[in-house]
Structure 1
Amino acid sequence: MNTESRHSDSLAGLSFLLVMAMGMPMMIFYAIGILGPALILDLDISRQQLGWLITSTFGFAAVLSPWAGALVQRVGAFKGMVGLFLLVGVSFALMGALPGFGGLVTALLFCGVAQSLANPATNQLIAQQVPAPSKAGIVGLKQSGVQAAALLAGAALPPMALAWGWRAALAAWAPVALLMAALVVRWVPPRVTAEQRFSLRVHAPNRWLWMLMAIQLCAGLALSSFMTFLGVYADQQGVSAQAIGAMVSGFGIMGILSRVLLTPVGARLPDASILLGVLFVLAGLALMIMRLASPQQHWPLWLGVVGMGLTVAASNAIAMSMLLHDARFGAAAASAGMLSAGFFGGFAFGPPAFGWLLARTDDFTAAWYSLAAILTAGALLCVLLLLMRRRK
């Protein structure tokens, strides 16, 4: 009984670290969505430049991700997790210290490196230390860390920014990241042997992984654009900063529910591609409802936020679970790195492209329609992946 209790405590501590490892690098993503109006005003930047802030961190993450998986396999999940939290701490500290738009971009690059390590390090840790029957549930739980960051950012950042200013509100998360690094040292046993030597050579993904990467590219394009400009769009409709924070928290809550509940469901299906396709279609419908928002009625905004949280927010967790349940996609850390490259590529290109559309049309209508089209394309790619796997 004592052995079972110790194992349960160990798994609980590991789960907490996995959630934080996924959530801490993503905190800045939701912070920009919440603090967007203040950043535009204080830094004297355009809406399109706001999108480039997201590109600076996720573009770097997308470039590094194909090698991040091999690096984690070389140094081990323990060092990967410690390095991740240290990089996040440095990034948030620099956000509070470096001046101007260029300083913020520089600080975000460190977060990009951490983001590239998140999925390979956490997947490797799960593959090594979590029993097979618990893997799907733990993957869904750790992926919910991304949405837990939204919940925390939405609840904490508006009052912190109001009391201290946005720079101090961001810098306050640096000590939290350093504490998490210390907990990794305490709770995660380091492995002496590495699985393979590190190489700069990247093995090309197979057809299945390419298709899953394309699906995640669509998810990243839609999610990043939606969350980056949610605050700006809501502010335009007369929504207060506190209500915008509440919307982001609502997105986080729905995202946690969808990832924790739907990831095991996807693992039990004959092919989770079916579930992914349905979620993309429902997310497109949520965006169309959100378009009905106006200064007189804010309920479509809330429905859109809840709908996106319940649907496409779960897609990355389901895709990561597919990698762990089918070795034909590739090795756990390496395939996670490649899948992250597709997802982060969407995060890198989505916000500036969305901002470019806004600059050309000065209206959100065309931009929201473009996201609905991307989600439709993602649903079609899910059907293609389903057919490819059945043919195999």
Structure 2
Amino acid sequence: MTRPTSDASNRAPGVLLVVLMGAMAIGPVFNYALGSLSALIVDEYGITEGQYGFILAAVYISAGVTATFLGVLADKLAPRFQIALIFSGIVVAFLVSAMWQSFVVLLAAALIAGVAQSFSNPATNRLIAQRTSFTQRGRWMGWKQSGVQMGLLISGLTFPFLGAAFGWQTSALIGAAACVPALVIAWLIITKVERDIAARPLPPAPAKPAAPGREKLPTAVWLFSLVAFLNAVGTQGVTVYSSLFAVRALDFPLTVAGMIIGVIGVLGILSRIGWGRVAGRMARPSVLIQIMSLGGVVGLAFLIAAEAFQQGWLMWLGIAFHAALPLAANVIINSGTVAAAPAAKVGAASGLVATGMYLGFGAGPLIVGQLVDLTGGFTAGWIAVGVTYVASVVVAIILSRLQKRSE
């Protein structure tokens, strides 16, 4: 297991946290932009809801396939290069998507965005494991993971209006232009931080095993990867289709429906920061995963009722449950992974868990999209992803018992 130090000299500077949050925010901003303009893209590109879901699935399948390999690289590459790969990859994805109004080109951009995004968790988890004290870790993990929701918030507040005014291609160019200064600032900050850290003595490193490269990942890490997959199917299935659900099922205007993504972002930021603090005080936070997954089932029930009774307030209630509970589970999953992994394998462990998460992110929109195409409504899709929340509860119970036995 990773053994954090409580030595005050190992306390990381706050400016590093800004970079970590930025890396987590920028990674998924391409797919969040697609999500906030779902109805526009379906109409503008002349594709079906199922094809739209396939584009989003491609982002996460690409990320899932490459995350394990890139997680191993995260244990070896310099942090600033990893951060630069995340930011520059998203810039390229936006530029490619703006080249031509074509489903194939949009699909290619999605694959590029997936590779760039797959670096986010391994790179940032490794930095937290290496550069933060024990007292910082839980709080930093919550703030770091809230960066994802900050990207969601920014996308939800900007792209619906850019899309309504200019269409997707111009919106994508604006998105690429906005990412460039963020890349430069992140590079400068993390380079300075790394130089400052290298210039001062660090606490003694924990003893390493004779052959760290052959050290096996504990069973708990594999279970966290499975939980990450199941949770991601549900959370991304809801997040990606929430805007389209509001337009198609409840007749919301595009601008209001697009801002649902922003609402999810705000609530997600607050919930991830709050749950991060709670997780930092718990020996076995896997019980929180059970609570969050059950909350996701309740949220889906509200969404089903909203469509059945045509009541918008039920949709907002379902979105609130979604953002406050299952969407925050990633904080618990990443904190648990960093704690369970051997010190020399944090990047590899994070990559494995990220693979499960991204494959779940890919499966969620694909499942919901295909069921919407088949049934003409969203209820079947919500029920399908709800089943994965129930499965997540079961795996979390097994994980909790495993950790209790190993104490």
Using the size of structure 1 for normalisation, the TM-score is: 0.91
Match of 1:321 in 2: 335
Match of 1:214 in 2: 226
Match of 1:280 in 2: 293
Runs of 4+ that moved beyond 4 A = 201-205
Match of 1:355 in 2: 369
Query: Which ranges of structure 2 fall in alignment gaps of 5 or more residues?
Result: 1-9, 199-204
Percent identical pairs in the alignment equals: 25
Count of residues paired in the alignment: 379
> Contact 2:26 / 2:86 at 8 angstroms: preserved in 1?
no
Q: 1:19 aligns with which of 10, 18, 21?
A: 21
> Contact 2:36 / 2:259 at 8 angstroms: preserved in 1?
no
> Contact 1:323 / 1:330 at 8 angstroms: preserved in 2?
no
Amino acid at match of 1:337: G
- Quote the offset at 1:180 in angstroms: 2.2
Q: 1:256 aligns with which of 269, 276, 281?
A: 269
> Contact 2:338 / 2:350 at 8 angstroms: preserved in 1?
no
**Distance in structure 1 (CA, Å) of the matches to 2:158 and 2:98:** 17
User: Alignment partner of 1:60: what SS?
Assistant: helix
Asked if 1:231 corresponds to 2:243, the answer is yes
Cα 1:369/1:59, change in 2 over 3 Å: same
Q: 1:172 aligns with which of 171, 174, 178?
A: 174
Match of 2:6 in 1: none
Amino acid at match of 1:269: M
Cα 1:277/1:117, change in 2 over 3 Å: same
> Contact 2:368 / 2:381 at 8 angstroms: preserved in 1?
yes
> Contact 2:139 / 2:277 at 8 angstroms: preserved in 1?
yes
**Distance in structure 2 (CA, Å) of the matches to 1:184 and 1:30:** 21
- Quote the offset at 1:285 in angstroms: 0.4
Match of 2:312 in 1: 298
- Quote the offset at 1:374 in angstroms: 1.1
**Distance in structure 2 (CA, Å) of the matches to 1:332 and 1:205:** 9
Query: Which ranges of structure 1 fall in alignment gaps of 5 or more residues?
Result: 1-6
- Quote the offset at 1:96 in angstroms: 1.6
> Contact 1:291 / 1:365 at 8 angstroms: preserved in 2?
yes
Amino acid at match of 2:26: M
Cα 1:241/1:250, change in 2 over 3 Å: same
Amino acid at match of 1:301: M
Deviations 1:153-204 (A, max 9, x none): 1111111112221221122121232222212331113579xx99xxxx9987
- Quote the offset at 1:76 in angstroms: 2.1
Cα 1:109/1:316, change in 2 over 3 Å: same
Cα 1:40/1:204, change in 2 over 3 Å: farther
- Quote the offset at 1:104 in angstroms: 0.7
> Contact 1:208 / 1:329 at 8 angstroms: preserved in 2?
no
**Distance in structure 2 (CA, Å) of the matches to 1:244 and 1:342:** 29
> Contact 2:71 / 2:122 at 8 angstroms: preserved in 1?
yes
Using the size of structure 2 for normalisation, the TM-score is: 0.88
> Contact 2:292 / 2:325 at 8 angstroms: preserved in 1?
yes
> Contact 2:75 / 2:345 at 8 angstroms: preserved in 1?
no
**Distance in structure 1 (CA, Å) of the matches to 2:35 and 2:263:** 14
Q: Which moved more, 1:320-329 or 1:78-87?
A: 320-329
Deviations 1:84-140 (A, max 9, x none): 111111111222223300001111222111111101111122223333311211111
Q: Which moved more, 1:95-104 or 1:270-279?
A: 95-104
Q: 1:335 aligns with which of 349, 370, 374?
A: 349
Cα 1:213/1:327, change in 2 over 3 Å: closer
**Distance in structure 1 (CA, Å) of the matches to 2:48 and 2:216:** 38
Match of 1:308 in 2: 322
> Contact 1:206 / 1:329 at 8 angstroms: preserved in 2?
no
User: Alignment partner of 2:76: what SS?
Assistant: helix
